[in-house]
Structure 1
Amino acid sequence: MNQKIRKSVFSIERDRTLVLMFLAIVGIWFGFAWYLKRNYFDASAETAGQLGDTFGVINSLFSALAFAGLFYTIRLQKKELHETKLEFRLQNQTLQRQNFENTFFNLIQSRKDVIYYLESAKYDASYQSGEDHLDQIAHNLKAYLPDALNLQGKQITQTELEQFNSLIPSKSIDPYIRSLNKVLQYVQENTANEKDRLFYNSIISSKLLTDEAILLSYYVLLGGADLETRGRIDYMLKSNT
């Protein structure tokens, strides 16, 4: 909207300047004609010769004014073209951001769908929902493994790794991790600076359930998935801290 207003003001100023230039030229022409009529209407041959020389000067003056008007018009057009290019560039940046965010939120929705359709283990003769299943896994991890915060800088024993693997069914966790990593990788590859990367990771982190965040913390600390995936998840978990 601001671009349109500036462009409109610029166009009005340009038109006003051109009108003033035209009126000035016409005024000079009429003023000179009046001057000739008053002083040279019944002129002698000598005076007429001087008058002819004067007409030559006036013709040169009009030619110079015409050239100046052409030069000024070209400058105005150049400036307007520059502003148009700038407006197109801003529109293109806005469109790119909109396309990025549309894909980003679609991937987040896709991740929710994956959670909804998780294949859960059977507890108490009934199948759980995807979210309840993740909560159950996180609960089991908290019950059988040390607190995630206390694992920092400590050696993870083989027994703890075996417990970790037994408590997280691969059929459940693998699709979940893949869908999450897909969103994180998209943000990593399509953000131009650290500020944007941190902002969109914080959006993902804010949508995690409490037990979901606990599950992912254990997953990173105990060496789940590949190094790049763990790095992206760890960055996302810390984005709100």
Structure 2
Amino acid sequence: MTTKSLSYILIIGILSIVSIYSGALIYFTWPISEFSIDKSGVFGDSFGLLTSLFSGLAFAGLIITILMQKDELALQREELSLTRDELSGQKDELRTQNETLRVQRFENTFFKMLEILDSCRKEIAYQAPNFPNGSTTYEGREAVRRLYEALSKRYFFNSITQNYSQQLVFAEDCNTSEGVNQRYTKFYNDHGDDLGQYFRTLYNIIKLVDRNFTSGDGLVYSNLLRAQLSRYELLLIFYNCLSSHGDKLTPLVKKYSILKHMEAELVIEQHQWLLDRWSSELN
């Protein structure tokens, strides 16, 4: 039974009791044969029972009022709880929208930088000697391939004359990390104008991914970047990371396994130990 129903019952009960008691009193005292102060006092005293009853009912009414206020407070608390839940849901929705916008802004920048990387790749040029016709200029991915061949054959090997013919002999200093760094530095000094912008753009793309994602969520983008790199780009990145020119790039390349699909057989035989060391550092 609700407090409101109890209040209606109490009011109806009070009216019924008053009516019944008044009717019975009049019934038993009617007709009134004499009006005097004494008689009036006796008649008034006859309502003492009702006075006590009303006092009790007043107390009951106070209790009912308290119960009604309790119900109202409970409703208010429920409304506040529903309001908090609604606000919490709005906050979650807003947080989701902000995250969606953040990812959209990141992806716009990421794919734009992939386009810039492709432009840098296309701008790479290499002039290969072509006797007796002078030289031939290669661009783009073919230039990258020619550059790696030049690095692995011309810079890591020495040309000597033996039996009236030119032969390539592996440079002994390239058996050490410092020797490889020095030889690659000479290669970079000769071709840095073509490769420098490419490596800087590559570094900034990986850095962008690393800055925007602290968990494995960034792997989908690093994997997408890795899929854009040719076999010879991976080899040049490998040697760049082994040198002092790749100090900033190397930790990111290792973190996101950019060289995961580098073909070991394309690394010159004398540098397989460098490849083994690189693999051990990843584990």
Return the alpha-carbon distance in structure 2 between the equivalents of residues 75 and 163 of structure 1: 67
Picking from 219, 222, 230, the partner of 1:201 is 222
Return the alpha-carbon distance in structure 2 between the equivalents of residues 188 and 85 of structure 1: 27
What is the RMSD computed on CA atoms of the aligned residues?
3.8
Alignment pair present for 1:240 and 2:272: no
Aligned letter for 1:174? G
CA-to-aligned-CA distance 1:134-153 (integer Å, 9 cap, x gap) = 1221233344448xxxx998
Match of 2:17 in 1: 40
TM-score of the superposition, structure 1-length normalised? 0.67
Return the alpha-carbon distance in structure 1 between the equivalents of residues 77 and 174 of structure 2: 71
Match of 2:43 in 1: none
Return the alpha-carbon distance in structure 1 between the equivalents of residues 257 and 210 of structure 2: 14
Aligned letter for 1:140? A
Alignment pair present for 1:215 and 2:236: yes
Return the alpha-carbon distance in structure 2 between the equivalents of residues 83 and 71 of structure 1: 18
Match of 1:87 in 2: 93
Return the alpha-carbon distance in structure 2 between the equivalents of residues 26 and 228 of structure 1: 76
Match of 1:100 in 2: 106
CA-to-aligned-CA distance 1:46-97 (integer Å, 9 cap, x gap) = 4461444433333332222222222222232223323332332333233323
- 208 and 27 in structure 1: CA distance in 2 versus 1, 3 angstrom threshold: farther
Consecutive unaligned residues of structure 2, counting only runs of 5 or more, are: 22-46, 158-172, 262-283
1:207, distance to aligned residue in structure 2 (A): 1.9
Of all paired residues, the percent bearing the same amino acid is 17
SS of residue matched to 1:121? strand
- 78 and 172 in structure 1: CA distance in 2 versus 1, 3 angstrom threshold: same
TM-score of the superposition, structure 2-length normalised? 0.59
Aligned length: 212
1:30, distance to aligned residue in structure 2 (A): 4.9
Instruction: State whether residues 121 and 127 of structure 1, in contact with CA within 8 Å, keep that contact through their aligned partners in structure 2.
Output: yes
The 5-angstrom pairing of residues 1-241 of structure 1 reads: 24=2, 27-30=5-8, 39-40=16-17, 42-44=19-21, 45=47, 46-47=49-50, 49=54, 50-121=56-127, 127-144=137-154, 145=156, 154-157=176-179, 161=183, 165=187, 169-193=191-215, 195-196=216-217, 198-221=219-242, 223=243, 225-238=245-258, 240=260
- 52 and 119 in structure 1: CA distance in 2 versus 1, 3 angstrom threshold: same
CA-to-aligned-CA distance 1:179-209 (integer Å, 9 cap, x gap) = 111212223333324x345554333222211
The higher radius of gyration belongs to: 2
Instruction: State whether residues 126 and 146 of structure 2, in contact with CA within 8 Å, keep that contact through their aligned partners in structure 1.
Output: no
